[in-house]
Amino acid sequence: MEALTKIRPEVTVRVFKRQFDADPRGARLARRVGLHKLHTWGIAYLSDVSESAALIIGELTANAVTHGRVPDRDFELRLSFLLGDPETPGLLRIEVSDTRGECRPPGPGEITAPEDSSDSGRGLLIVDALADRWAVLDRNPGKTVRAELDLLY
């Protein structure tokens, strides 16, 4: 009798990385380009994953140009997409990096809600609510904020 072997499909990881100007226009462009890339990878516009990714990319890129901006330095958007199957969930990783290391945002579990009258301070609360996991990572120079979405099939 022969041993049964499970045939596992090849692992496919798609990666997109691009630098953008550290200004509001660059943040908007990063969001649009990122969503287009996700669509080409099979994550349809207006799907739940696409909508969550749009909000996360928008918040992280806005933070990068508002709080992480260094004159004459860009920020970077990196998207990684690992396909899943019915037995193993896929993964979408969103990373936004800037070169300002001394202005580090609070990490998971450290966020406090702003005053009701405040016009800002809710971006990472949105990331915390939508992402399955997220973290603030050191980088030389600067920092990376990473958010991950599990893709269930």
- Mean of pLDDT over the chain: 87
Per-residue pLDDT tens digits for 61-90: 999 999 888 888 899 999 999 987 777 789
Distances (CA, A) of 60 to 54, 66, 73: 10, 10, 16
Supply the pLDDT for residue 120: 63
**E strand or H helix that includes residue 65:** helix 48-66
Q: What's the predicted TM-score (pTM) here?
A: 0.87
Q: How far apart are the C-alpha atoms of 35 and 28, rounded to whole Å?
A: 11
Per-residue pLDDT tens digits for 115-149: 776 666 678 999 999 999 999 999 988 999 999 99
Q: Are 27 and 64 in contact (CB under 8 A)?
A: yes
Per-residue pLDDT tens digits for 96-106: 999 987 878 87
